[in-house]
């Protein structure tokens, strides 16, 4: 076609077309070359899944004498390949496209590879659709399926440093949206060519476009000294509902700005897609939202996908072995926005619900967060729910929100527009909190399971104080034998409550606390910070009872007198079994209101005494 022949002449000029956002070394390509930019040109008839296209891959050599590069394309046909304008040979087998470079490249040399291709996209895998409800074509490259619609180096770790640009031609009754900024369209001969450009580093799986009979409108977000357009795309019959569905978008942006720093890209938008078998997808600058979620006002979903712009897109997990970073941050972020809307207790209820989802997943299929199998990838209970709880627990270890936000800011500043791993977050945490938290990641990310605390407690009165005695044993069947997470313990008194923080170092572990008031009840993790289960038992064996001997017990002048070798809980019961007196003491002097037979219980030992008028 004429379009493709003309587009083959486009060359990518690194020097003057794009702003460079430097990436950390971990984000740079580790193969023989580094992708700098993708220029994608497509012709979509929109009456089938057929497409014709060309992609210009701008790259830089990472080694001397580079004579061959590998790209990926699956299910489509390569029609031609040129390198720096010169036709070259290639081999396309399965998903691998090997391109011969006519001139060997040295380290640091830049070159352009232009690939013409065509074919019918894969609807069964969901990476190029045609719907009879409304004609719609869109891409879904996650986790590694961008190669199903465009030749690329389909590894998330090789971000295109200078971004991506699109020229997409469709019948002029259709609208196209894509990553980045909208630069206009050319309309002629019944077709329209849409131009989109995104100037930030981007992983292949986040490259995206959607084309349909969309209606669109815009809103605006105004960070300090700037303005960012928010663009919405949806079908005409949903126009009346759109203002309701999108009413909180700007508030979400301001909220995440306050937590994580300014929105990191030049535009934000949402495209409503159907059919769509994910609930949502965080395509960079343009979230995909499935239509039932849009019609159901699923603000949690919209907040989740938006937060990915910071955590997943700007800072991308270093390989799917670290997927918990992407999904944990977004899941915790949508819970925080839920808290903003509905209050703290609703946030806690949501976190408890998600903790229960993790418990169910772990019961049926226990596994670590790190390095899930392909079958386990994107598992709700682990990669979303447990992962969000790991971040919740890190926030607890920060002890206050100012430290938590400082940790997030340091993490962002260290890896923005690049990649980050579990070890990277671990190192940032060690740095910001000035301590070693390797144990935390070993137990909660690299290992499986969660603690089950079996807690036995008792008290004793030691005038003028009370002694609280705890014995804690961890009884979990899988995972570490000891989780070292500091354990918050709520202690209730008649006049209020307090929280004790227990440093957990072993199992079993013994604690004693001297308190000003008598403890009446205990609650494990009263503020809901930890993934855990527990069983709490108030011991019937009074503290020190096994060491107590009865030195004297008598009734003289209607006074029950007890002297013990050490303090213990003493209970007095009448003949009907009603408790009439209780004290923690080594010496008891009690005068019943009436004469009769009384039982004195000291620990497990009972004595009968008779009070005579």
Q: Which residue has the higher pLDDT, 543 or 271?
A: 271
Q: Could you count the other beta carbons within 10 Å of the beta carbon of residue 303? A: 25
| pLDDT for res 152 | 98
Half-sphere exposure of 92 (CA within 13 A, CB side): 18
Q: What is the mean pLDDT of the chain?
A: 91
| From 305, 362, 416, 443, the catalytic residue | 305
The CA distance from 474 to 450, in Å, is 10
Q: List the one residue out of 74, 80, 113 whose CA is nearest residue 96.
A: 74
Query: Same domain, yes or no, for 127 and 30?
Result: yes
- Residue 332: inside a domain, yes or no? yes
Is the domain of 183 the same as that of 284?
A: no
Specify whether the CB–CB gap between 195 and 167 falls below 8 A. yes
| Residue from 170, 164, 165, 216 nearest 193 by CA | 170
Task: For Cα atoms 594, 597, 599, give the angle at the middle one, nearest 5 degrees.
Answer: 115
Please name the residue that has the structure tokens 């891409």: 139
Average pLDDT for residues 101-117, to the nearest whole number? 98
Examine residue 309 and state whether it is found in any structural domain, yes or no.
Answer: no
Buried b (16+ CB within 10 A) or exposed e, 355-365: bebbbebbeee
- Report which DSSP code applies to 21: -
Q: What is the pLDDT of residue 388?
A: 99
Of 43-57, 470-484, 546-560, 582-596, which gets the smallest average pLDDT?
A: 546-560
The domain boundary, picked from 269, 303, 337, lies at: 303
CATH number where 165 lies: 2.60.40.1730
Asked whether the beta carbons of 408 and 307 are under 8 A apart, the reply is no
**Tens-place pLDDT, residues 582-595:** 877 778 888 888 88
Q: Is residue 96 a part of any domain in this protein?
A: yes
pLDDT above 80 for 306 = yes
For the cut 90, the answer to whether the pLDDT of residue 611 exceeds it is no
pLDDT (average), residues 63-67: 97
pLDDT at residue number 610: 63
| DSSP 8-state assignment for residue 152 | B
One domain, residues 48 and 194: yes
Three-state DSSP at 329 gives helix
Angle between helices 387-397 and 344-364 (to 10 degrees): 130
254 and 162 in a common domain: no
Give pLDDT, residue 23.
Answer: 44
Average pLDDT over residues 476-496: 97
pLDDT at 17 over 50: no
Residue 485 lies in a domain: yes
Q: What is the mean pLDDT of residues 247-252?
A: 98
How many Cα neighbours within 13 Å face the side chain of 367?
A: 20
Distance between CA atoms of residues 19 and 37, nearest Å: 12
Residue in this structure with the two tokens 């060690």, named with its chain if needed: 430
Look at residues 188, 210, 232 and tell me which one is the last residue of a structural domain.
210
- Residue ranges at the known binding site: 304, 308, 327
CATH number for the domain including 356? Answer: 1.10.390.10
Instruction: Out of 159, 189, 210, pick the residue that ends a domain.
Output: 210
Q: Residue 491, Cα to own-chain centre: how many angstroms?
A: 32
Residues tagged in the binding site annotation for Zn(2+): 304, 308, 327
Take residue 103 and report the two structure tokens written for it. 């001139």
Tokens 């959607």 map to which residue?
210
What is the percent of the chain where pLDDT is above 90? Answer: 77
Q: What is the average pLDDT across 519-544? A: 89
State the total domains in the chain: 5
Cβ atoms within 10 Å of 552's Cβ, excluding its own: 9
Can you tell me the distance from the alpha carbon of 16 to that of 461, in angstroms, rounded to the nearest whole number? 80
User: Is residue 587 a contact partner of residue 566, using CB atoms and an 8 Å limit?
Assistant: no
**Token pair for 511:** 């604690």
Residue in this structure with the two tokens 């496209």, named with its chain if needed: 97
In this structure, the answer to whether residues 365 and 428 fall within a common structural domain is yes
Q: Nearest CA to 336 among 243, 444, 442, 251?
A: 251
Q: Is residue 311 part of a domain?
A: no
Structure tokens at 333: 């972020």
What pLDDT is attached to residue 14? 35
Neighbour-count burial of 473, counting CB atoms closer than 10 A to its CB (0-12 exposed, 13-18 middle, 19+ buried): middle
For residue 39, what are its two tokens? 């220029």
CATH code, domain with 287: 3.30.2010.30
CB 394 within 8 A of CB 430: no
Asked if residues 381 and 358 have their Cβ atoms less than 8 Å apart, the reply is: yes
The model's pLDDT over 42-56, given as tens digits with 9 standing for 90+, comes to 999 998 888 999 999
Which of the pair, 377 or 557, is modelled with greater confidence? 377
Give mean pLDDT, residues 116-126.
77
The model carries a pTM of 0.85
**Do 380 and 516 lie in a common domain?**
no
Shared domain for 45 and 64, answered yes or no, is yes
Residue 384 annotated among the catalytic residues of the structure:
yes
How far, in Å, CA of 420 to CA of 240, rounded?
41
Residue 514, pLDDT above cutoff 50: yes
Q: Are 155 and 204 in contact (CB under 8 A)?
A: yes
CB 486 within 8 Å of CB 437: no
Residue 513 maps to which CATH number? 2.60.40.1910
Residue 270 has pLDDT above 90, yes or no: yes
Q: Is 375 a catalytic residue?
A: no
- Residue 308 falls within a domain, yes or no? no
Q: Both 607 and 516 in a single domain?
A: no
**Quick one: which of 29, 20, 23 has its CA closest to 108?**
29
Angle at CA 592, nearest 5°, toward 590 and 598?
95
3-state secondary structure of 346: helix
Q: Same domain for 147 and 9?
A: yes
Each residue's pLDDT tens digit, 289-300: 999 999 999 999
Looking at the fold, whether 420 and 462 belong to one and the same domain comes out as no
Q: What's the confidence (pLDDT) of residue 24?
A: 44
Q: Are residues 293 and 325 in the same domain?
A: no
Quote the DSSP letter at residue 25. G
Query: Alpha-carbon torsion 24, 30, 35, 36, what sign?
Result: positive
pLDDT of the residue at 131: 65
- Confirm if 161 and 237 have CB atoms less than 8 A apart: no
Pair (201, 230) in one structural domain:
no
SS3 473: strand
CATH number at residue 555: 2.60.40
Alpha carbon distances (Å) from 249 to 221, 301, 302, 358, 444? 9, 11, 8, 29, 33
Catalytic residue among 153, 290, 337, 384: 384
- List the domain range (segments joined by +) for residue 360: 316-444
What pLDDT was estimated at residue 534?
98
H-state helical runs in 495-561: none
Phi-psi region of 83 (alpha: psi -120 to 50; beta: other; left: phi over 0): beta
């Amino acid at each position: 076609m004429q379009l493709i022949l003309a587009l083959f002449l486009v060359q990518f000029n690194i020097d003057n077309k794009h702003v460079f956002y430097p990436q950390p070394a971990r984000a740079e390509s580790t193969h023989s070359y580094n992708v700098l930019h993708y220029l994608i040109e497509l012709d979509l008839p929109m009456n089938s899944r057929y497409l014709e296209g060309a992609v210009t891959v701008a790259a830089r050599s990472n080694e001397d004498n580079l004579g061959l590069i590998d790209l990926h394309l699956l299910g489509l046909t390569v029609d031609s390949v040129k390198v720096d304008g010169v036709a070259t040979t290639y081999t396309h087998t399965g998903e691998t496209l090997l391109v011969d470079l006519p001139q060997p490249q040295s380290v640091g040399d830049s070159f352009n590879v232009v690939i013409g291709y065509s074919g019918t996209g894969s609807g069964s895998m969901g990476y190029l659709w045609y719907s009879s409800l409304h004609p719609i074509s869109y891409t879904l490259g996650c986790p590694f399926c961008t190669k199903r619609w465009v030749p690329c180096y389909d590894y998330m770790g090789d971000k295109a440093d200078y971004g991506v640009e699109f020229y997409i031609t469709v019948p002029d009754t259709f609208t196209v949206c894509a990553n980045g900024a909208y630069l206009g369209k050319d309309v002629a001969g019944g077709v329209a060519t849409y131009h989109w450009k995104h100037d930030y580093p981007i992983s292949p799986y986040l490259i995206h476009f959607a084309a349909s009979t969309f209606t669109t409108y815009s809103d605006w977000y105004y960070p300090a000294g700037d303005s960012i357009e928010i663009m919405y795309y949806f079908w005409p019959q949903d126009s009346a509902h759109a203002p309701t569905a999108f009413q909180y978008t700007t508030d979400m942006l301001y909220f995440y700005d306050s937590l994580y720093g300014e929105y990191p890209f030049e535009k934000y938008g949402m495209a409503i897609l159907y059919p769509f078998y994910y609930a949502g997808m965080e395509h960079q600058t343009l979230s995909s939202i499935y239509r039932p979620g849009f019609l159901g006002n699923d603000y949690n979903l919209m907040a989740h996908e938006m937060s990915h712009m910071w955590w997943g897109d700007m800072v991308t997990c270093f390989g799917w072995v670290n997927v918990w970073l992407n999904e944990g941050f977004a899941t915790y972020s949508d819970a925080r926005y839920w808290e903003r809307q509905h209050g703290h207790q609703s946030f806690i209820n949501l976190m408890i619900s998600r903790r229960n989802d993790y418990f169910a997943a772990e019961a049926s299929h226990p596994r670590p967060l790190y390095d899930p199998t392909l079958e386990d990838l994107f598992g709700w209970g682990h990669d979303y729910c447990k992962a969000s709880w790991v971040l919740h627990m890190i926030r607890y270890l920060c002890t206050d929100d100012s430290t938590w936000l400082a940790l997030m800011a340091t993490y962002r500043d260290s890896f923005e527009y690049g990649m980050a791993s579990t070890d990277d977050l671990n190192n940032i945490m060690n740095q910001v909190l000035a301590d070693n938290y390797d144990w935390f990641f070993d137990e909660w990310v690299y290992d499986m399971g969660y603690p089950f605390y079996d807690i036995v407690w008792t008290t004793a009165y030691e005038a003028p104080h009370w002694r609280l005695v705890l014995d804690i044993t961890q009884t979990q069947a899988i995972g570490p034998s000891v989780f070292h997470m500091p354990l918050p313990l709520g202690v209730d008194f008649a006049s209020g409550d307090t929280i004790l923080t227990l440093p957990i170092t072993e199992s079993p572990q013994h604690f004693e606390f001297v308190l000003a008031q008598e403890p009446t009840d205990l609650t494990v993790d009263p503020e809901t910070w930890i993934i855990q289960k527990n069983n709490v038992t108030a011991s019937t064996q009074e503290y020190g009872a096994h060491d107590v001997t009865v030195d004297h017990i008598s009734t003289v002048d209607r006074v029950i007198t007890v002297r013990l070798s050490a303090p213990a809980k003493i209970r007095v019961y009448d003949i009907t079994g009603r408790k009439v007196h209780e004290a923690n003491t080594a010496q008891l002097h009690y005068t019943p209101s009436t004469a009769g037979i009384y039982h004195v219980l000291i620990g497990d030992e009972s004595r009968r005494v008779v009070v005579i008028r």
